[in-house]
Structure 1
Amino acid sequence: MTILLFGVTKDIVGSSTLSVPTTSVTGKKIPNTVRELRQFLGDAYPELNKLSSLAVAVNNAYAKDEQIINSYDEIALIPPVSGG
């Protein structure tokens, strides 16, 4: 599954995209919901846990933690934004 990263999430990960395995070769649980994906990414990139908010979009719509995700979904991490 490919995740699109923007703003500070891109800086934290060091890339504008991130590939998450859809099958487990290490014995780790593969994320099946937005909540599990947040946990998976927070474990891999602890700096993401420090953000004041982090929205997840699935197929161009904001997603709730309970939403099921699939390997073919378009997923984006949307960090907090500031402006004036």
Structure 2
Amino acid sequence: MKVKYFAWVRERIGLEEETIEPPADVATVADLIGWLTARGDGYAYAFERPAVIRTAIDRTHVRADSPIAGAREVAFFPPMTGG
């Protein structure tokens, strides 16, 4: 699956996007965040407060308990403010 990172999530990880193949036991968004966090310091820093991270699967906003099976794209971004 393709994973995209936006705003300060991207800055902390140092990548705009990457293609990954998480292990089979990574079933939800929360599992994916946990797995990514273990990949290195930049990931750990980006996901240090997972409750504030927003996620979209195939361009649809989802919750942390949402399954990732079959996802083509997962995007992570911080909360947005508008004006």
On whether the aligned pair clears a TM of 0.5, the verdict is yes
- What is the alpha-carbon distance in structure 2 between the residues aligned to residue 72 and residue 66 of structure 1? 14
- What is the alpha-carbon distance in structure 1 between the residues aligned to residue 10 and residue 75 of structure 2? 11
TM-score computed with the length of structure 1 as normaliser: 0.73
User: How do 1:1-84 and structure 2 match up within 5 A?
Assistant: 1-22=1-22, 24=23, 30-44=25-39, 45-51=43-49, 53-70=52-69, 72-82=71-81
Cα distance per residue 1:10-69 (max 9 Å; x no partner):
1112111022224x5xxxx65221111111122221102334710110111111122111
> How many aligned residue pairs are there?
79
TM-score computed with the length of structure 2 as normaliser: 0.74
User: Do the aligned partners of 2:37 and 2:44 also contact (CA within 8 Å) in 1?
Assistant: yes
Aligned-residue RMSD, C-alpha:
2.3
What residue ranges of structure 1 are gaps of 5+ in the alignment? Answer: none
Q: The residue matched to 2:18 in structure 1 has which SS?
A: strand
Identity in percent: 20
User: Do the aligned partners of 1:34 and 1:69 also contact (CA within 8 Å) in 2?
Assistant: yes
Amino acid at match of 2:7: G
- What is the alpha-carbon distance in structure 2 between the residues aligned to residue 61 and residue 70 of structure 1? 14
Which structure has the bigger radius of gyration?
1
